[in-house]
Structure 1
Amino acid sequence: MQIGIFKETSPGEARVAATPETVKKLSAGGKHQFLIERGAGAAAYIPDAAYEAAGAEVLEADAIYQRADLLLTVRTPSPSDLGKLRQGQIVVGMLNPFDVDGPNGLKALNARGVTAFALEAAPRTTRAQSLDVLSSQANIAGYKAVMLAANLYQRFFPMLMTAAGTVKAARVVILGAGVAGLQAIATAKRLGAVIEASDVRPAVKEQIESLGAKFIDVPFETDEERECAQGVGGYARPMPASWMQRQAQKVAERIAQADVVISTALIPGRTAPTLITEAMVQSMKPGSVIIDMAAGKGLNKDGQIGGGNCPLTVADQVTTQHGVQLVGYTNLPAMVAADASALYARNLLDFMKLIVDAEGKFTLNLEDDIVAACLMCHAGELKRNA
């Protein structure tokens, strides 16, 4: 099988879908040939020579579109590149399964007659952990969020006792304790910060506390609140308004005392919830930092998509509002491109084992729950409508 890898064209995207490690592993049996676009790994500090040493052929993009049977990608190909896809080609990557109608959404992919797999749709099960791209990339994002905050915050994170006096430790509040939030807690703890964290799911309290943070507890008062708090498929569910009001009040008290806030609340396929209001931002000390990891997926001040967990956030910009720095970067994993690419490429490698048989041929086994969940379109049929 001829497997194509392209240089990503999305603005700010530095990751690549294969590394010399995964190229070598897949090429070992002689059943696959990798075709790598020239410069595909440059932004992740992987030179073309490293791919060639692993057994890949380095060439231009147009030749790859003509020859490849299967394309591994980080993002959905751009609208201009979609026109180069051939009927029957296979595309595997992070294809944003919730975007059906966009210019490079699922309908546009389906119109090309390709078979497309979106790895974000993989079930959150033990068997699927090794190919869980959301977790591998969120883990990196949580780490990078703390490093960005530490860089922007004009004071130390740890408590320091010096001859010139004692410097207090930074107070960090983390909203959302999924994969990104837990990694943010662990990273901030390593830097010596005092950490508090909030999440709607009571099950994560032990995880939060095991990492050295204090859980901001908002008790449940109704059966509806308890049911919603259990989440579904490893994700939080939208909570009732009564609980959200109580949480907002409790979180507002903690944010007012915080030096850094890292907000990670996202629900796939839905608008990101507003957790940090303008009034909360105003209550923070000058020089404080907010890292809004939901940037671009929440409502802004005008009620339009473009904000984040805070309506003052501006996607892909660092702004200052009421003396507080708001960070709205929308692709934190791409800022750690080398490791992000390595983990993502391994995710793809494990998924490939489910769709390629021992002879190196594509096989579509819809009895496999992972394959069925990730399949977005095949033979002109769109499998995902919302």
Structure 2
Amino acid sequence: MRYKLPTLALLGFSAFFLAGCTISDLPVIGGFFKKAPQPVTLTYWGLWEPAPVMQALIDKYQEQNPHIAINYEDRSVMDLATYKDRIFERAQQGSGPDIVRVHNSWMPKLKSVLAPMPDKLMPVGDFNNKFYPIVSKDAIYSGNIYALPLYYDGLVLVYNKDHFDEIGQTGAPTAWEEFRRLALELTIRAGDPGNELVVRGGAAMGAANNIDHFSDILGLMWSQAGVKIPQDLNTKAAQDALTFYLNFLREDKVWSADLPEAKTAFAKGQVSMIFVPSWGLLDVIQAAPKVNIGVAPVPQALLDSPVSWGSYWMEAVLANSPAKDEAWKFLTFLAQEEQQRMLFSEASKTRTFGAPYSLVSLGSDLADNNYLSAVVRSAPYAAGGELAARSGNKNQVDALKDAVAKILSKDLTVGEALLQVQKVLSQ
């Protein structure tokens, strides 16, 4: 009997090692022999958020994961088209960073050089429940998650409440025809009949050269009309939406090519209504903090089938990263509720407000926010695409800008101009 216990123990250990296990796998004892995690360094290319804002979250993660070093590089100074090209080039060369911030409209062409999120970190079903439908559409391909948003943004209507008071208007328009009527009422002109100048525009609509977000507005209108871009740009529905947009300048004359860019004009009181994402609103507030601003969801073509316009950035991991799993672990940490609130708080220390939350569960936190409520309220029914302004899609936006200019100068018809745009966007 005295030899039986050692013999049984020896047989147990033999079976353990023959099964391919090591001593570090043993309960209790293994804890003394478990290897420390290998050091990992992640390089993170970011945009819009300065290093001090992101560092607060990085420090928190590193406290829990001391073997991870994260080098955050703010690439905001780069031209966005150059930044976009650089990501594609570095990804193909195998010399890129581990984590990159990418625009939602890049995903169809970029996904081939990205590493999907490991299933164990977040099942697709959970992802769909956590984020807005547009995010699932932009980030998921063939059942794999290729990007993760830390915030959401989209087009909203910004209006001057004092101008509305002048005409007895108490709320924002919800339909395009109501918007058009208000734009006409709000416009102030001066000069002789037939040669009047727009002193104050009712709405920044109808042009391209002095409306930074003209392409977002047209993308919105086409999406509301059910026009698929670019394949449906040769249809009557596409032509009708563009004509409606142009007529704010050509027929209604509620805007002028001689006015400053829309955000600048709004800050100076030279226009009553503009369309911008939340970061554009920050520019207005900084330029004119005393303007009495109202913010509302965009007007609709069909009130019972609303469509808004989303333009936002996501975090992704390059396929050639040597630390893909660790990079994705860090990103899923950043996307959690606690970290999104922390990011919003840190950003709000340097500007009027942080970026709107990407998590559906945090939408209620912004329900009473005068600036951001409209963004998250319209997020559930957002569309998006390559016509987003300030997204690095220079060729696409420039093609549309050229088309608008040629229509206004009567060099091309609406149909002819849209065929040219379709050709560029189809490449």
Q: Of Structure 1 and Structure 2, which has the larger fraction of its residues in strand? A: 1
Is the pair's TM-score, using the shorter chain for normalization, greater than 0.5? no
Q: Of Structure 1 and Structure 2, which has the larger fraction of its residues in helix? A: 2
Q: What's the TM-score, normalizing by structure 2?
A: 0.30
Determine which structure has more spread, i.e. the larger CA radius of gyration.
2
Greater RCO, CA 8 A, separation 6+ = 2
Q: What's the TM-score, normalizing by structure 1?
A: 0.32
